Structure 1
Amino acid sequence: MLNSVDAVLVIVDVQGRLASLMHERDSLIANISIMIQACHRLDIPILWNEQVPDKLGETVPELAELMGTLKPMAKTTFSCLGNDAFNEALADTRRRQVLLVGIETHVCVYQTAIDLLENLLEVHVIADAVSARKVENKKLALHKMRLAGADVTTTEMCLFEMLRTAEAEAFRDISRLVR
């Protein structure tokens, strides 16, 4: 079961023009935005990644502005775990449950999920906060991640699973975010 004390949010490559080409782009950005704001509220660390930003562009402004003082980690490998800075940052969190969001589901998100699973971490792919240009690629990637051992969930389900009760201190704030 998800627990905010054990969770870390990993944002994968929501950048530039590529982000504008995603299936259901507006919903994708809205759900990642909710996840970022909720993680700030729940004191869940956020690891923010960008794939070759000098070529693909920076993270979309709607998300970058929510990151506060956090800085993105540039990478060239599809998996975030191909980046030493990411691996160190992940280890420093001492968290075992990875909430995974971003693009593209069948490339960078998929390869990151598989590598995280191989490192014996719990992977929770937020299905309504990942996307690809073609919906078929997203569906197949989610299926393959599930077969590999990842949990596939949604933004709202994930957040309320971590809250567990309407008496949780952050319940009202989280409820407002998902409305």
Structure 2
Amino acid sequence: MTTLENRPGTALLVVDVQVDVVGGAHERDAVVGNIATLVERARRADVPVVWVQHADDGLAKGSDGWRIVPELAPAEGESLVHKNYGDSFEDTTLESVLSDLGVGRLLVTGAETDACIRSTLHGALVRGYDTILVADAHTAGDKTAWGAPPVPQVIAHTNLYWTYQRAPGRTAGTIQTDSVDFESTPAGK
């Protein structure tokens, strides 16, 4: 499975579910609800939840819009990784956090599908992680004014191509929130 030695654990990765990032996102409440369900299940199964929080010129660190949405909150002891680029691994502590947890398999959720989620999926896979996208737990805002397809098509396309993504010695794919069973996956501790 993962090409990372001695890393049998699984973690739930929650990427950029911040007030301004998901404020006008497609099916925001349903996606945030699915992520909340996954966070609760992961915690019950003692599977690490790792939070990622983005900041840049348009999203100032410490601002109200930068905060994680009020429906979700990192628990005491859960890792919070700050980033400034699309790929959650790029110039962050994410790799060392996951290494310390013994994690080689990621379930990825969050926003934005067509930016940070896609970058993080690819970043994880090329770094040796088994990388599963939770198909109904990621979203994006409407970018049709800039020539992008409507958000439902962006999500469907991302789910389609990630379902068939492969790499030597690693697995990728998608899963629905209702099918995630953290009890049958190795804990990340």
What is the TM-score normalised by the length of structure 1? Answer: 0.80
Query: Which amino acid in 1 is paired with 2:176?
Result: T
- Give the Å deviation of 1:100: 0.5
User: 3-state DSSP class of the match of 1:67?
Assistant: coil
- Paired position in structure 2 for 1:157: 179
Structure 2: state its 5+ residue gaps: 2-7, 142-150, 167-171, 185-189
| Alpha-carbon shift at residue 72 of structure 1 (Å) | 2.6
SS at match of 1:62: coil
CA distance in 2, matches of 1:148, 1:11: 20
Q: Determine which structure has the larger helix proportion and give its number.
A: 1
Aligned to 2:154: 137
Asked if 1:103 corresponds to 2:111, the answer is: yes
The alignment-based identity, stated in percent, is 24
The 8 Å contact of residues 110 and 145 in structure 1, kept in 2 or not, is answered as no
What is the CA–CA distance in structure 2 between the aligned matches of 1:92 and 1:83, rounded to whole Å?
17
More moved, 133-142 vs 117-126: 133-142
Q: Distance in 2 between matches of 1:78 and 1:62?
A: 23
The answer (yes or no) to whether the contact 2:165–2:173 under 8 Å persists in 1 is no
Q: Distance in 1 between matches of 2:28 and 2:19?
A: 12
1:6 deviates by 2.4
Deviation of the 1:76 alpha carbon: 0.5
List alignment gaps of at least 5 residues for structure 1.
Answer: 165-179
Contact 1:7 1:98 in 2 (8 A): yes
1:13 — aligned with what?
A: 16
Please give the residue correspondences for 1:41-52 in structure 2 after superposition, counting only pairs within 5 Å. Answer: 41-52=44-55
CA–CA distance in 2 between the matches of 1:15 and 1:80?
A: 14
Of the three residues 121, 124, 139, the one matched with 2:132 is 124
Q: Which runs of 4+ in 1 moved over 4 A?
A: none
Say if 2:49 and 2:79, in contact at 8 Å, map to a contact too: no
Is the contact made by 1:80 and 1:108 (CA closer than 8 Å) also made in structure 2? Answer: yes
| 1:41-67 Cα distance to aligned partner (Å, 9 max, x none) | 000011100110526511101112x53
Give the one of 66, 69, 83 matched to 1:60.
Answer: 69
If asked which structure has higher relative contact order (CA below 8 Å, sep 6+), I would say: 2
User: CA–CA distance in 2 between the matches of 1:32 and 1:127?
Assistant: 11
Cα RMSD (Å)? 2.0
